[in-house]
Structure 1
């Protein structure tokens, strides 16, 4: 069983991801190139932020070729080259297009291979440490139809072949059901990326299964869904009270809860701000007491407080 160490230079301690020790607080690169309603980040500023990522001890960077038509990958390449000081995790299963709906499903095995080859080119690497398959069976995001409805076993076989060829070190899954994860376990799964937060814990059984199998849990929407009308972690009274008591921000409380809740959790919160990045890295220094954890655990899936007595 993998036991994460509390390394002084690794914010949040460490987890062994596909054989690579990484900081449990990582960085998601999407906001370097996709900021709805805001101007794009200057390339030099983006590269400076990526350098600050490493200075803070963050070693896990999450990206995708479809983030800005390869622009996020290109920035990572310009910042780090093929250095092993960072562990790159990418994802496949969709392609970027110039259309009203910017992403289309790319679920066929040959499309997964083509996407990984495109990632390798834009990252300037011969191998990607981990690639996550983004399934398109359920929202959020695009839903596969027609010939894009592909059997999971066929996709796993292609990813295993790419792993055997040395183009990827390992693979994981994103936006999957518990049954799909159970189906994929024999293939060797390194990581799962699903929606999960203090106010969205429908994936608790999947998290338990990941923990039992030493699979990293790297959730998206860690502060609640971005869609209007959905509960937000930072609006919960228990979170606000804990933040005031500890002298930190509500978002820091929500992310610290996730780290403490499960030792295999890897945060991949993104930002285009160095100040915000430093706030995220500081989450590793926050310790929630048993009482605070109980108060936060009592926040239900709809964002309401439930009895803890």
Structure 2
């Protein structure tokens, strides 16, 4: 895949074009996704604005990041939203403490969470609303039915799913149009490869979470990454992001960070042109 193709946008849901390298807001909240990351919220506000100034058009957030903190920061930093900026948020999970959460997928819960996100984000319509987890105690048709009702009311433009398998995606698509999938996927963790392949066939966006491996890019893999990075005057993390962009045209990584320098480093990964030899080496690491 050439650099021009890597830099090309992707139409989420067929009608929301975004640049493929976005920004995730998980890095703006504290450990365990609890509370704010920075004592001074203006640091996070400035980072969000910097991301958009640098060309990011996809912001990935969730109501339980904080909880509420990340969505409030997005609105504080970016509202009124510039034309072409897509805000993707998630509902269906209730967080009660650091790394403590439970699934809440009853229709009335999903409606309440979606409407709360609309208020926090100061918007009438959410470009992409993703079900953070399927609730095993609630029929899928009831959960997606609630989102379809919200879509018909104009409160959701497109529906997405988080952490699902290929069979669940196929079932879901029989109930509602699914514009995106958000599963764990990175250079070393490709357990969701079958889901990615299904997304490729159907033109569905795939937002990989933990795109940088959450600290796992070490050992033999780290040695290979370091060698390739040296050839491109890049960092191992940049190579891991560049590999995602080269690996599939439907992959839309949204790495998060609380650091302006790290943000710039991540965004620069979109301009790295990996060779066929680089890709062959990287493909063997999973």
- Please report how far the alpha carbon of residue 6 of structure 1 lies from its aligned counterpart in structure 2 after TM superposition: 4.5
- Counterpart position of 1:190: 179
Deviation for aligned residue 1:69? 2.3
Distance 1:290 1:250 in 2: 17
The residue that corresponds to 1:219 in the other structure is 208
- Shift of residue 203, structure 1, vs aligned partner: 1.2
- The equivalent residue for 1:125 is 123
In the TM superposition, what are the counterparts of 1:149-164 in structure 2 within 5 Å?
149-164=137-152
CA deviations over 1:71-108 (Å, ceiling 9, x no partner): 111111111214244210001110122x4753222111
Could you tell me how far 1:153 is from its partner in structure 2? 1.6
- 1:175-195 Cα shifts (integer Å, max 9, x gaps): 111100011123111110001
Q: Which string of whole-angstrom CA distances, capped at 9 and with x for unpartnered residues, describes residues 161-220 of structure 1?
A: 111110010111101111000111231111100011111112111101101111001011
- Asked if 1:267 corresponds to 2:256, the answer is no
In structure 1, the residue matched to 2:55 is 57
Partner of 1:23: 19
For the aligned residue pairs, the C-alpha RMSD in angstroms reads 2.1
CA distance in 2, matches of 1:225, 1:280: 14
> Does the aligned pair in 1 maintain the 2:35–2:69 contact within 8 Å?
no
Gaps of 5+ in 1: 137-143, 227-231, 301-309
After TM superposition, the runs of 4+ consecutive aligned structure 1 residues lying more than 4 A away are 36-39
The residue aligned with 2:228 is 242
User: Which secondary structure state, in structure 1, belongs to the residue aligned with residue 178 of structure 2?
Assistant: coil
Normalising by structure 1, report the TM-score: 0.84
Return the offset for 1:248.
0.6
Between the two proteins, the alignment pairs up a number of residues equal to: 277
* TM-score, length basis structure 2: 0.91
The structure where helix makes up a greater share of residues is: 2
Distance 1:176 1:57 in 2: 30
Query: What are the Cα deviations for residues 119-163 of structure 1, in whole angstroms up to 9, with x where unaligned?
Result: 011111111100111225xxxxxxx6xxx6112121111111111
Q: What is the match of residue 34 of structure 1? A: 30
Contact 2:21 2:267 in 1 (8 A): yes
